[in-house]
Structure 1
Amino acid sequence: MMFDLRPLALAALFALAPGIAVAAETWDDKLFNPKPADGDVVLPLPCGGAMAFRKLSVPGDSVYADYAVTIGIQDEARGFAEGARTAHVAGSFSDGKTQRYVLMAKYEVTEAQYEAVMAGGDCPAKPSMAKRLPKTELSWIDSVNFADRYSQWLRKNAAAKLPKEDGEMGYARLPTEVEWEFAARGGIKASPAEFNERLFPMPEGMARYVWFAGSQSANGKPQLTGLLQPNPLGLHDILGNVDEIALEPFRLSRLDRLHGQVGAFVVRGGNYLTAEADMRASYRQEVPFYDGDAPRRSKTTGLRIVVAAPVLTSADRLRAAQAGWSKLGAVSAPDNKPTEAKASDDPLEELALLAKSSPDTATKTRLQNLQTSLRANIAARDEQRDRAAKASLRLGAFLGRKLADDSRAVDALAKLYKARVDGGNADDPRTKAFKDQLDREQAVMDGNLRYYADSLIRTAEDYGPEVLKRQMQILLVELQGMGLGELKPYLDRNFAHVSAYQKDRKVARSQWLADWNKMQ
């Protein structure tokens, strides 16, 4: 479903600024959303315009829940700027209990959209199709000013249409580098293997998704937005056409982290002069803020915006963040704490007591630093544990689906074999062939059942119920994003088997197989 959020804002615009009502004729959809799709969110612009957005969804169910991704590329030649590293992304707005999102512009900001926002009440003439070209020759300050002007206009004229978090209205800004690359790779719509490729999946070939250099593509000039196919998230021209400016400044890559020196601004994604072979989701360039005594602007540089919200939206959210912070890396967390644990079993509590009782300031500081370091290490360990638990549940579901298929195949062969034997054809060569095939399929199924049982028991013994329950919820969000929602019954069945084993410790292979046999 596509949501058009313009009418209320247009009415407000006319009421607040009657002097420009004649100029504020509603734009044709082709000027701002030439490729409408289910899930589009449309927000109004000044002067009768609009902008289409897509949800950039991320699994997450609490203030401190974020999502680990690998960004960058394993390429020695580009490692200094694009070295692969683990980063984390999270959404601003709640979307149910298990995911959060920001809105990301579906297309690059066009000339018409830029002019409408920056007009300051003196609307230009209704835009032509030529104004659907991406707006270029922008400095970083120009881009920030555009987002600021648009945010203020939305808050004055379309507040009811802005997404809200905890009662706080969203606002427009440039995307962070991690948000941008997460989106460019396909977000949770891409499988883990697809996400880590240089490019998002392009089944029809790159020329159908990206404007790059050469006569077979852009031919040396920017193209109208939305002419090509979108990426898995429904974002058009996320690679190629024009470079897109990121929120934060450039820093070098230092193996698994960014270097401390802060530089100029960053552009992402490549442009219409970038060679086809150089296109990649990790594409990242530093651009100086200034060219001589003026801001640096380029004919290949444009922008794409997101709509997000503050982190600490209220006093309640602040208290939740404080409570979440105290639990990060805590040994006393439910799945870390032994059943009969004493206060002295928690090294963090011991360090806190030692620091509090130490009369020496230097010693107190060292103990407090050690406590923080230990908490960080425990939190990192917990993140690794969570990812492993999620992978185990996913494996169990796929093995279960394989067992369901195996069991039905074996049953069908067994019926055919029995029918031939009962029909007096026990010694027939074809009957013996059926028996040989049945034996092979039975052996394969038995081996898969042993593997499933071993995997299930290891999952049940390695991870606590709370960890598994939470990772199950996140896994369901991921699979829905990848279009694999049909796996939910298999996940549910595997989770039920694991939970039952945790309670009674019974290895019920026959029952497990029977349960899978019933799956349709």
Structure 2
Amino acid sequence: MSESARRAAWPLALLLTLAGTARAADEAPAAPDPLYDPQPLADDVTLPLPCDGKLVLRYIYVLARSALDDREVNLGYAFSENDPGYRQGFLAGFRRAHINGQFELADLPPAWRERLAGHLPSGGDGLRPMLYFIGKYEVTQYQYAAVMAQEPWLRGTQAEPPACPKADARSRLPMVEVSWYDALRFTALYTQWLGRTHADALPALAGGPNSAAGGAPSFVRLPTETEWEFAARGGHAVDRQALEARLFPRRSAEATEDGPLREWAVYNQVVGGSGQAARLAPIGTRKPNPAGLFDVIGNAAEMVLDPFLMVRGGGRFGGGTGGFIVKGGNYLEGEQALFTGMRREYPLFGADGSPSHNATTGFRVALGTLAAPRARYDELLERWQAEGRLASLTDDITSEADAGARLDAIIANTDEPRMARALTELSEELKRNVALIADQRKEAAGNLIQSAALVAETIGNYNIRLIQLRERLDKAKRDRNQAAIEVLSTGVNNGTSALQGALSIYLDNAATGARYADDMFRQQFQRVQDELARKPVIGQSLLARATLFMKHVEQYRQARRLEPEPVLNELLGR
């Protein structure tokens, strides 16, 4: 029986059940495929697998100026002393990291570009979505067997590709009992098989390695811990507050509260008193996280690419390198042990010297490429040289007046080696401090834009309340109700004062916004736009308010003042 026939023989009832759980999207997703993609989404992308199979990927993006730009994210969890995990905070405690994608839309195969074009922000003001790709599901036993069977043919010791593995009841289970080295071997063989049989299916930077521009190929690898956790938390699909939470938002359509974890994760519910036995489950039996990933919590725990580093109390990694990292918890653990920052350290080798493996740990894959291919050298150099310049903080400082640039010019004209080394150290320290301030100002600029939008929304609400009070006051005057007139007159006066106070705050915000470097402020607006677009109701209103605020900031930048009355009329749509 052919592989396609075997897949078609899966029970119809299962197909119907899986089809009913697929998430709605703007375009109709593909039909459910229980072996490879039981819960298709409209914006999935796929890579071919041996035996006419496929591996489904999800995209994660960061709005950035270039491949050198990135976004600061928080990993782990800030345990309090009463939390069960506090005594092991050095394993999974709060720490900071940075994330960015490696692929631009132009690097993707045409079918991927067509699939994703309507789902990505258009960017603007120097920002564009930088993407990375991560497995939608954990690698299954069937996928693992199909790829690993290719090794003799890929090595040339077998003339023909191998026969396809036979699908059975365990085929859809995550592949466990594999070592970290086994997982790496899978990614290596899969990349080699793709390169030999479906090279055009992979993204390629700037035309790929054979282009005159000096592009780079992509390859299959394990995700880094930061890539894994950012995606598991919801990535670009959630706002900053949700990214800081213990678990990703778990809400079905029109729900106002998070649903029970059992609808999103396979774990040991006996701990919670349900009496249900825990066992490894097939892929896609629960709901996806906001980024469209399945089983990031529970089911099989997952290995990542980078080695384990302990967490320092100051929120950074320590310097000692350990074993391999396992993320997300597994099906034998209770709900209290499961959170997106969960991580454990396992030894690379057991006591007998063999690579470590167990029945609860598997993996999912990601796509990677070179961080600095030759085709990006000029762009990366330009961004690197601009890092740490005072001129990036405000438009009031020109490049010629930038203290860092002037110091570098002095160093270039210094003949005395010891003095040049001392000045170079000073220059690097200055750049580090300026870069830190720049990151803080970026964060403050984004917060200012959102705050101003909220103040504008408050002004609108105050005005609605004032209109209602004035209407009631007019009625009281017509009725000659003196008691009501006094109460309502006080309410109108207080409401007017509150509105004027909020307007004053709004104008101050506009003046503050004008002190930021224009390019940076516009880039932060693009990021705020992207975040507000994900808020279902208030987001659209705040987005309109934020857009108007940017106009007022530009007006203040030009005239160094704003007239309160025209601004208020614009805020109220008069």
TM interval, shorter chain, is 0.7 to 0.9
Deviation (angstroms), 1:436: 5.2
Q: Judging changes above 3 Å, is the alpha-carbon distance between structure 1 residues 194 and 22 closer, same or farther for their aligned structure 2 residues?
A: closer
Q: Judging changes above 3 Å, is the alpha-carbon distance between structure 1 residues 88 and 63 closer, same or farther for their aligned structure 2 residues?
A: same
Partner of 1:319: 378
Deviation (angstroms), 1:473: 1.3
- Give matches, 1:121-160, under 5 Å: 121-160=161-200
Letter in 2 for 1:181: E
Partner of 1:222: 280
Asked if structure 2 preserves the Cα contact closer than 8 Å seen for 1:335 and 1:466, the reply is no
Residues 1:402 and 2:458 aligned together: yes
Return the alpha-carbon distance in structure 1 between the equivalents of residues 170 and 427 of structure 2.
Answer: 60
Moved more, 437-446 or 366-375: 437-446
Asked if structure 1 preserves the Cα contact closer than 8 Å seen for 2:455 and 2:506, the reply is yes
Which one of 297, 308, 322 corresponds to residue 357 of structure 2? 297
Residues 1:518 and 2:573 aligned together: yes
Partner of 1:17: none
Deviation (angstroms), 1:102: 0.9
Asked if structure 1 preserves the Cα contact closer than 8 Å seen for 2:247 and 2:340, the reply is yes
Q: Judging changes above 3 Å, is the alpha-carbon distance between structure 1 residues 336 and 350 closer, same or farther for their aligned structure 2 residues?
A: farther
Return the alpha-carbon distance in structure 2 between the equivalents of residues 172 and 217 of structure 1.
Answer: 40
Partner of 1:93: 103
Return the alpha-carbon distance in structure 2 between the equivalents of residues 485 and 165 of structure 1.
Answer: 35
Letter in 2 for 1:501: Y
Which one of 137, 140, 146 corresponds to residue 110 of structure 1? 140
Partner of 2:481: 427
- Give matches, 1:144-293, under 5 Å: 144-168=184-208, 169-202=217-250, 203-215=258-270, 216=274, 219-254=277-312, 255-291=314-350, 292-293=352-353
Return the alpha-carbon distance in structure 1 between the equivalents of residues 204 and 485 of structure 2.
Answer: 68
Q: List alignment gaps of at least 5 residues for structure 1.
A: 1-20
Which one of 42, 45, 48 corresponds to residue 41 of structure 1? 45
Which one of 502, 506, 521 corresponds to residue 468 of structure 1? 521
Asked if structure 1 preserves the Cα contact closer than 8 Å seen for 2:407 and 2:427, the reply is no
Superimposed CA distance per residue, residues 401-431 of structure 1 (whole angstroms, 9 cap, x where no aligned partner) = 222233234334434544665xx32437666
Deviation (angstroms), 1:485: 5.1
Superimposed CA distance per residue, residues 451-505 of structure 1 (whole angstroms, 9 cap, x where no aligned partner) = 22222222223x1222211111122223335554553322211111111111112
- TM-score under structure 2 length normalisation: 0.79
Letter in 1 for 2:414: S
Moved more, 188-197 or 171-180: 188-197
Deviation (angstroms), 1:439: 4.2
Asked if structure 1 preserves the Cα contact closer than 8 Å seen for 2:140 and 2:175, the reply is yes
Deviation (angstroms), 1:61: 2.5
SS of 1:263 mapped into structure 2? strand
SS of 2:137 mapped into structure 1? coil
Letter in 1 for 2:568: L
Letter in 1 for 2:507: A
Return the alpha-carbon distance in structure 2 between the equivalents of residues 453 and 210 of structure 1.
Answer: 48
SS of 1:357 mapped into structure 2? coil
Return the alpha-carbon distance in structure 2 between the equivalents of residues 442 and 332 of structure 1.
Answer: 41
Residues 1:74 and 2:78 aligned together: yes
- Give matches, 1:313-352, under 5 Å: 313-315=373-375, 317-333=376-392, 335=394, 338-339=397-398, 342=400, 346-351=403-408
Q: Judging changes above 3 Å, is the alpha-carbon distance between structure 1 residues 37 and 79 closer, same or farther for their aligned structure 2 residues?
A: same
Identity over aligned residues, as a percent? 29
Superimposed CA distance per residue, residues 236-281 of structure 1 (whole angstroms, 9 cap, x where no aligned partner) = 1101111111101111122332122222111111111222211122
Moved more, 77-86 or 388-397: 77-86
Partner of 1:371: 427
